[in-house]
Chain A
Amino acid sequence: MIEKRQDMNASRAPAVEGNILEVRDLTVHFVTEDETVQAVSNISITLKKGEILGLVGETGAGKTTTALAILNLVPVPPGVVKSGSIRVCGKDVLNAPVRELEQIRGSDVSMIFQDPMTSLNPVFTVGDQIAESVMMHDKCSKAEAWERAEEMLELVGIPRERAYEYPHQFSGGMKQRVVIAIALSCNPKLLLADEPTTALDVTIQAQVLDLMCDLKEKFDTSMIFITHDLGIIAEICDRVAVMYAGRIIEEGTLEEIFNHTKHPYTEGLFNSLPNIEDRTAKLRPIPGLMPDPTKLPKGCAFAPRCPYARPECIETPQEPKYFSDTHFALCSAYSEPGFRIDREEV
């Protein structure tokens, strides 16, 4: 059944060589009468087939907005996509006509939402909610869609007879599995997972992560995994992009980010992790708060909290500094020869 479905998907959309996702210079603002929130500024992301990109950052860094923009689901108003282009499987998401957009959503790209408690419609059975997606995209009968929905439930570890039950009859962890089942029901080529495990307790968290890794192996799905948990990133991601105040301030392979950290903010993130080996070690949080997203400086938004900041950091716009083909950081300190952050010297 699953192989057959993949064939169906392949015949529906022309096979795209290389990149599943191309985001270029995406800028999203939220405009209200009083102020403009610069939620996402000038972000570029590319993702190959089967690749998992971890998107890390504090709350409010623009991770979810980026994911919503990829589905063209930024709430309008107040959201405005100021500039940029997004191509999923070669299709221009931001300028697609409504019909095509509805086809792209769910079948080419789908999203697992952050809060399982509110992401399911309380008045429909979970089977209905999974089957609806299948019916929309595969144009099959209700019976076939239900069969598929029950299969999906089993895949995420829920007995198939529970398809006839309503969301309020499930616990949080099971609801999250249902949300995952909905997202995966049409074998999307790209999966946006927005903190899929944040609302779950650790034991369930591990199961959900296992499940997602399994699914990735099985279907070769590309994934953007949004989280602020560096431990999860280390477990499942191939590449990592670190976001701060709406920008990607450092991006590289897992190895590069974890072992050759370049940006002071990324360093701060690692320092904030509790040290499990040395329990007497003090936590070293990053001092200060995220800047007000309505009043971002021209230069580096992290400068006010940065231990290496120089006066010109906050004034001059940052240029990406490349350390390899895949690794860059948005930090002007590297224009000075010989600049090193502490973590790298260790």
Chain B
Amino acid sequence: MHRYIIKRVLMLIPIIIGVSFIVFFMMDMAEGNALDLIGLDFSEEKLAELYHQYGYDRSVFYRYLLYIKNLFHGSLGTSIIYKKDVLDLYLQRLPATLKLASASVLVAVVLSIPLGIRAATHHGSLTDNASMVLALVGLSMPNYWLGLMLAVLFAQKLHWLPSSGDLNGIWSLILPAITVGTGLMATMTRTTRSSMLDVIRQDYLRTARAKGVPEKRVINVHALRNALIPIITVVGTEMGKALGGAVVTENVFAWPGVGRLIIEAVNQRDTATVTGCIILTAVMISIVQLIVDILYAFVDPRLRAEYSTGGQRSRRKTGPRAAALGLAGKEGAVA
């Protein structure tokens, strides 16, 4: 398991290089640069000096190599626009994004898993059909539209909730979290339902019932544990996406998160900020994926066996009875 984790962490290096390469060159292809923006009323000499300072008088490859060199020294560079270290900028915005991501994923998980289980156990019933229609509606609504509608209704007309910023604590969180959470909930409900439907027909649930396990425990323990893998996958993917910042939702609700920072930086051609934020987002997503993979191992012992590479399984002593039956030696080898 440790070796597996180390391997995964090392895999971050090519991911970071790849991501930074793509973002860096795409930013270069866009028209204009940050220096032109801040240097609008600077003199020619001053501008030329800035160009030289940031390497804009050399080729993009030179700047990229410089960036990578700094990266390996642990620096994500300095934003030309904000005149601040990119890591600080990112960390400043991260709490808001984390808050929104966890709130929406939490709401989605708490609502969608019970709903999906119920839809699966009452397959074909009114609950099932209603929840599937609801999920379809949830999936079909674009975030920006739902966000705007919620803002119009609850903020503008009813004045119940604030429509922008994160200054009012949990109250400001409600509308953005619902906006992001609705789509998540729809996806998760569908995944839970289909995964449970697969498991519910398995023989081992019949075995559980036959030994007198109450139906509630059959579903919530025996079945759910087996249905969890696809559910964890979806939760992990969605959590990863949300950590990259809900770009659209953050803009609709003026939420001071990472997504909004990236959009602002792109508009101002702030290459260092964009590249840095996207690298950090990639790292966050990789960490979430790693956690998901570790969770798989906790949920499914068959995967646990796969992670621990060959030869690490403890050798068993053969019991006298089994030795007498002449079985244990052969069976023990089955991994």
Contacts and interface: CB of A to CB of B under 8 A. Distances in A.
Please say whether chains A and B are actual partners in one complex.
yes
Interface of A: 71, 73, 98, 102-107, 110-111, 113, 115, 118-125, 129, 132-133, 136-137, 154, 157-162, 166, 168-171, 173-174, 179, 182-183, 185-186, 207
A124 B302 CA distance: 11
Contact of A157 (B212, B225, B300, B327): B327
B8 interface: no
12 contacts: A105-B209, A115-B203, A118-B203, A121-B225, A122-B204, A123-B226, A133-B213, A154-B321, A159-B321, A169-B305, A182-B211, A186-B211
A110 B216 CA distance: 20
Contact of A132 (B211, B325, B330): B211
B209 A73 contact: yes
A171 B207 contact: no
Nearest to B204: A121
Given A121-B222, A122-B226, A161-B316, A73 B206 contact: yes
Contacts of B225: 121, 123-124
A171 B319 contact: no
Nearest to B319: A159
Of all A-B residue pairs in the complex, the 6 with the closest CB atoms, nearest first, are A159-B319, A106-B212, A106-B211, A118-B203, A105-B212, A133-B211
B126 interface: no
B322 interface: yes
A110 B210 contact: yes
Contacts of B301: 122-123, 125, 166, 168
B208 interface: yes
A174 B316 CA distance: 16
B204 A136 contact: no
B226 A169 contact: no
Interface string B215-256: 100000010011000000000000000000000000000000
A331 B301 CA distance: 54
A157 B323 CA distance: 9
Contact of B319 (A119, A125, A161, A169): A161
B87 interface: no
B10 interface: no
B211 A105 contact: yes
B74 interface: no
A161 to B, nearest CB: 7
**Majority secondary structure, A binding face:** helix
B110 interface: no
A159 B322 contact: yes
Given A118-B203, A122-B301, A123-B300, A174 B213 contact: no
Contacts, number: 113
Contacts of A113: 203, 206-207, 210
A282 B107 CA distance: 70
Contacts of B226: 121-123
B207 A122 contact: no
Contact of B207 (A107, A160, A182): A182
Contacts of B317: 159, 161
B248 to A, nearest CB: 38
A159 B213 contact: no
Contact of B213 (A118, A132, A170): A132
A136 B211 contact: yes
A107 B210 CA distance: 10
A169 B334 contact: yes
A171 B329 CA distance: 12
A233 B325 CA distance: 24
A159 B316 contact: yes
A132 to B, nearest CB: 7
A27 to B, nearest CB: 22
Contacts of A105: 209-212
Given A73-B209, A154-B321, A119 B334 contact: no
A104 B212 contact: yes
Nearest to A106: B212
A119 B204 contact: yes
